[in-house]
Structures are given as C-alpha cells and as structure tokens.
C-alpha cells in the first residue's frame, strides 16, 4: 500500500513540475519572436461569462469551466511523464 502511495505522490509531483515548467517556458518564449508560438493558448470549456445555470427555485447553481492549453504545456507534461517513467521504473 505504501509503495502505491509513493508512486502516486511522485506522479503528481512530476505532473505539477511539468505544468510549472510550462509557465516559465511560455513566459520566456513570449518575448522571443521565433518561439512566441509556444505561448499561444487555446481555451476550451464553458465561458464563466455565460455559465450553465441550474435553477432549483430554492437554490440557483451556476457552472462554468475553462481550461487553457498551449503547446509548451503539452510538451512539458509529456516530458514530465517520460521522466516519471524513467525515474520510477
């Protein structure tokens, strides 16, 4: 049981490290003209300006979700997962 918990914690660490690395890389590359394409992002989801509303008379719930994805993020997460496989296995 402990081994599985350690692997889960290591997986989450590598995943979050990949996302943090993406933030730094996208910020640095946005100023370099030939690498600026790494920082362009696409938003996917339900806009929070126009959320899905569930009105139950007593309670009104509004649901909204936006996920922003860019190429640097995808590359860093893939690199983090590859690094996780090499380190853990």
pLDDT digits (tens, 9 = 90+) for 17-40: 888 888 888 888 878 888 888 877
Locate all alpha helices (DSSP H) within the chain, ordered by sequence. 2-29, 71-88
In three-state secondary structure terms, 61 is strand
pLDDT by residue for the chain (89 residues), tens digit each? 687 888 889 889 888 888 888 888 888 887 888 888 887 788 888 777 778 888 898 999 888 888 888 888 888 889 888 988 888 86
CB count within 10 Å of CB 77 equals 19
Q: What is the pLDDT of residue 1?
A: 61
Bin 7: left if φ > 0, else alpha if -120 < ψ < 50, else beta: alpha
Q: What is the pLDDT of residue 5?
A: 87
pTM score, whole prediction: 0.69
Average pLDDT over the chain, rounded to an integer = 84
């Amino acid at each position: 049981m402990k081994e599985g918990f350690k692997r889960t914690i290591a997986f989450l660490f590598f995943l979050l490290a990949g996302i943090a690395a993406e933030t730094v890389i996208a910020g640095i590359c946005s100023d370099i003209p030939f690498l600026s394409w790494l920082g362009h992002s696409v938003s996917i989801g339900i806009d929070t300006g126009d959320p899905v509303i569930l009105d139950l008379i007593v309670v009104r719930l509004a649901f909204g979700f936006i996920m922003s994805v860019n190429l640097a993020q995808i590359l860093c997460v893939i690199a983090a997962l590859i690094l996780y496989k090499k380190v853990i296995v």
